[in-house]
């Protein structure tokens, strides 16, 4: 039997008896040799098929390599003394020789299920190779690209984020308040997520974008104005939105919406500002005021105004999602089951937490354990580090309160301003 030439020692090949591959007097080329079983590192990888071509009588005897051996030693032993091998009757329909081969393909069973099965009876299709090469090139280019949100933040840049649903009647006031903000417009980007809306919210946002970015004076144009649409197919009548039994599923949907929005809209901004779509008032200086505290997460105190009588208004806390744990609330939490969901503002569930309106006058800024989303300023690095809005129970909370708990678990500071007021619409 001839030596096999011009190959690197990379595999052991098992070749069927009575095939051209077995009987060949020339170099064996494995890509065209169907009847070859290849093992690499003594792990099976097969080329099995019918007879490769016409058979010829082969008189040499070969040795069965049934145990792991040093391939180079065996090749040297076999080449020098083929008579030392076993008989034909012992090897039956297969003999095992070493082939020094450069082309190695694993058997199909060893390939991932999603890869196309190669046809080893035919030559490689050049177009397939070109396609794979092109796809590999695309992947490499993607790896080289830097996601915008990982770029070095632009100093003082601000991204305003607002998820909206059937918010058409509030949009005029929303933009009127935005326009009053005393903050450089060329530093401000704004992004909306429209979900499950059936009114004119989306169309009004499109029209607003066209006006601000194409028609408005240069000093009123946003750096970016983006609109996203993602429906979650969650329908809840407005009169049921504050029912306690609906809160967990409703807040989970809101968490998904917020996560969808910030993960797509955040680029190289330094700050992220979450604003409700139906606020009634906030001071024009509020952004700079909140930034001046230099906190990771900070919220003002959100109130709602109702008429007490004809000539008098009564203010009360609207956002009871901004709170501080107390010894009583922590003791209560220890007794809860892991699956218990906590929500504020219901007489049927006393959590014993301290809300922003329960602090004394000299406490201008206080640490919090929960926040709402009516007007929440966040340093963008908090989101970049992976802190989003849990759509699952995290320490008995989801969405914005879960966000505060998660941020604190990551070592970030969460604070509130008990006597810095903004106002939400009634309801």
Task: Please state, for a pLDDT cut of 90, what percent of the chain lies above it.
Answer: 44
Q: Which of 360, 358, 351 is nearest to 325 (CA)?
A: 351
* Contact status, residue 271 vs residue 386, Cβ threshold 8 Å: no
| Greater pLDDT, 141 or 332 | 332
Whether residue 398 is predicted with pLDDT greater than 60 in this model: the reply is yes
Distance CA 393, CA 115 (A): 38
* Contact status, residue 309 vs residue 416, Cβ threshold 8 Å: no
**Average pLDDT score over residue span 145-149:** 64
* Contact status, residue 341 vs residue 398, Cβ threshold 8 Å: yes
Q: Mean of the per-residue pLDDT values for the chain?
A: 75
pLDDT reported for residue 50: 36
**pLDDT tier at 139, thresholds 50, 70, 90:** low
**Average pLDDT score over residue span 84-105:** 42
- pLDDT tens digits for range 233-243: 887 777 777 77
Residue 394 token pair? 């995290």
pLDDT reported for residue 348: 67
Strand, coil or helix: what is 143? helix
| DSSP strand pairing (36-40 vs 43-46) | antiparallel
Region of poorest pLDDT, from 2-6, 86-90, 164-168: 2-6
Residue 301 token pair? 């105190």
Strands annotated E in 36-156: 36-40, 43-46, 94-97
Distance CA 36, CA 7 (A): 16
Which of 5-14, 147-156, 391-400 has the highest mean predicted lDDT (pLDDT)?
A: 391-400
Question: In DSSP terms, which residues pair with 37 in a beta bridge?
Answer: 14, 46
* Contact status, residue 142 vs residue 172, Cβ threshold 8 Å: no
What CATH number was assigned to the domain covering residues 148-424?
A: 3.90.550.10
Strand, coil or helix: what is 18? coil
Strand, coil or helix: what is 79? helix
Which of 60-74, 83-97, 383-397 has the highest mean predicted lDDT (pLDDT)?
A: 383-397
Whether residue 341 is predicted with pLDDT greater than 90 in this model: the reply is no
| Greater pLDDT, 317 or 8 | 317
Sequence ranges of the chain with CATH classification 3.90.550.10? 148-424
Whether residue 7 is predicted with pLDDT greater than 50 in this model: the reply is no
């Amino acid at each position: 039997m001839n030596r096999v030439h011009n190959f690197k020692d990379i595999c052991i090949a098992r070749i069927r008896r009575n095939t051209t591959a077995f009987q060949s007097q020339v170099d064996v080329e494995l890509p065209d040799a169907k009847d070859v079983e290849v093992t690499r590192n003594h792990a099976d990888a097969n080329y099995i098929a019918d007879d490769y071509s016409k058979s010829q009588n082969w008189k040499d005897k070969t040795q069965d390599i049934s145990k792991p051996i040093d391939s180079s030693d065996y090749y040297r032993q076999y080449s020098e003394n083929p008579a030392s091998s076993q008989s034909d009757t012992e090897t039956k329909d297969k003999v095992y020789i070493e082939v020094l081969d450069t082309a190695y393909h694993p058997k199909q069973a060893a390939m991932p299920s999603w890869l196309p099965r190669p046809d080893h009876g035919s030559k490689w299709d050049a177009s397939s190779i070109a396609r794979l090469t092109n796809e590999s090139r695309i992947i490499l280019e993607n790896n080289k690209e830097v996601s915008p949100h990982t770029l070095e933040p632009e100093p003082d840049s601000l991204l305003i984020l607002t998820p909206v649903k059937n918010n058409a009647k509030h949009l005029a006031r929303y933009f009127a308040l935005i326009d009053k903000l005393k903050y450089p417009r060329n530093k401000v980007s704004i992004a909306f997520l429209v979900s499950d809306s059936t009114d004119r919210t989306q169309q009004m946002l499109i029209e607003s974008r066209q006006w601000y970015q194409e028609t408005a004076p240069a000093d009123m144009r946003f750096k970016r104005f983006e609109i996203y649409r993602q429906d979650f197919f969650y329908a809840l009548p407005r009169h049921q939105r504050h029912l306690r039994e609906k809160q967990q599923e409703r807040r989970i949907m809101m968490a998904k919406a917020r996560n969808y929005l910030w993960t797509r809209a955040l680029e190289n901004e330094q700050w992220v500002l979450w604003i409700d779509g139906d606020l009634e008032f906030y001071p024009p200086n509020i952004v700079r005021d909140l930034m001046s505290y230099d906190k990771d997460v900070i919220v003002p105190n959100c109130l709602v105004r109702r008429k007490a009588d004809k000539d008098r208004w009564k203010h009360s806390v609207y956002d009871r999602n901004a709170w501080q744990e107390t010894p009583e609330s922590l003791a209560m939490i220890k007794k809860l089951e892991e699956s218990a969901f906590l929500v504020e503002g219901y007489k049927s569930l006393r959590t014993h937490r301290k809300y922003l309106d329960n602090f004394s006058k000299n406490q201008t800024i206080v640490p919090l354990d929960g926040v709402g989303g009516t007007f929440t300023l966040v340093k963008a690095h908090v989101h970049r580090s992976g802190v989003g809005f849990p759509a699952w129970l995290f320490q008995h909370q989801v969405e914005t309160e879960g966000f505060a708990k998660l941020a604190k678990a990551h070592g970030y500071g969460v604070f509130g301003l008990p006597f810095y007021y903004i106002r939400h619409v009634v309801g």
